[in-house]
């Protein structure tokens, strides 16, 4: 079932002109990123994403922070 959902998402993304192939993972990541950028704290994000602990969420958010740093450096080059 998940494979079909991801295939459908990719097709919809292409039709909408979205360059990034859409998947459930991308949707989930976008949801967490949006919560973080809106100022939600780790506990709220953890609960909303269904993580078993805030430690899992903290690891997830660290990767988000790294992506922001990488993007900032890209802008400098």
d(CA 24, CA 6) in angstroms, rounded, equals: 6
CB-based contact 45:35 (threshold 8 Å): yes
Beta strands in 1-77 (DSSP E): none
In tens, the pLDDT along 4-50 reads: 999 999 999 999 999 989 999 888 888 888 888 888 888 999 999 99
| pLDDT score at 32 | 86
Residue 39: left if φ>0, alpha if ψ -120 to 50, beta else—which one?
left
d(CA 5, CA 23) in angstroms, rounded, equals: 8
pTM of the model as a whole = 0.65
pLDDT band (50, 70, 90) for residue 58: confident
| pLDDT score at 61 | 79
């Amino acid at each position: 079932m998940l494979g079909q959902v991801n295939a459908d998402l990719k097709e919809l993304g292409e039709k909408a002109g979205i360059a990034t192939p859409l998947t459930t993972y991308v949707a989930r990541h976008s949801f967490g990123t949006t919560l973080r950028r809106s100022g939600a704290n780790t506990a709220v994000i953890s609960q909303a994403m269904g993580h078993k602990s805030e430690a899992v969420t903290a690891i997830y958010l660290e990767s988000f922070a790294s992506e922001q740093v990488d993007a900032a450096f890209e802008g400098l080059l």
